[in-house]
Amino acid sequence: MKLEFAVAFSHDAKFLFLDEATSGLDPVFRDEILDLLREFSEDESHTILLSSHITSDLDKIADYIAYLHEGRLMFMKTYDELHENFGILNCSEKIMHSLNQEDIVAYRKEAYSYKVLVQNAMQIRKVFTDLEINKASVEDIMVFYAKGEKVC
């Protein structure tokens, strides 16, 4: 794997297409590779298309994230948009139904409450000041898109 990265960086490619590039690497070397990829992509003349199931890699280097599930594009958003606008709240069914349905991406019924993935988390915090809305990770967002229920 180290040799493959050395070859990829050796010929000043403008575009790298990497499929599961960090899979199977030890954590230290994976971090070093991600640093190199971040440096490579910071030069505006270089682009990386990275396919990965390791969402923590995306947290470290992605500018845009496109999520494909069962052959369908579920979303394509900037990393900043995902990080800043999406949140998860634990609430009752009554509170969930009092939210603007356009703000609800999906929900998951728990034993005694609902977990709700919302977009516009900052706006919702202004209206519902007593609700705790936690930051949603990229992985959380993907799971809700794939396995969450949609509000009817």
CATH classification at residue 50: 3.40.50.300
Q: Are residues 86 and 143 part of one domain?
A: yes
Residue 43: which domain range? 2-62
Reduce the DSSP state of residue 63 to 3 states and report it.
coil
**In the numeric block, which tokens belong to residue 1?**
């794997």
CB 62 within 8 A of CB 79: yes
| Pair (49, 87) in one structural domain | no
Spatial strand order in the sheet of 114-118: 104-109, 114-118, 87-91, 133-135
* 22 contacts 30 by C-beta, under 8 angstroms: yes
Do residues 132 and 86 share a domain?
A: yes
> What distance in Å separates the CA atoms of residue 10 and residue 61, rounded to the nearest whole number?
20
Query: In this predicted model, what pLDDT tens digit does every residue of 25-66 receive, in sequence order?
Result: 889 989 998 998 898 888 888 899 999 999 999 999 999 999
Same domain assignment for residues 142 and 86: yes
Distance from C-alpha of 51 to C-alpha of 70, rounded to nearest angstrom: 15
Burial class (CB in 10 A: 0-12, 13-18, 19+), 31: middle
pTM of the predicted structure, to 2 decimals = 0.84
20 Cβ neighbours under 8 A, 6+ residues apart: 51, 52, 53
Instruction: Give the pLDDT band of residue 152 (cuts 50, 70, 90).
Output: low
Q: What is the pLDDT of residues 72-119, one digit of tens each?
A: 999 999 999 999 999 999 999 999 999 999 999 999 999 999 999 999
Indicate the number of domains in the chain: 2
The answer to whether the beta carbons of residues 68 and 111 sit under 8 Å apart is no
Statement to judge: residues 57 and 92 lie in one domain? no
30, part of any domain: yes
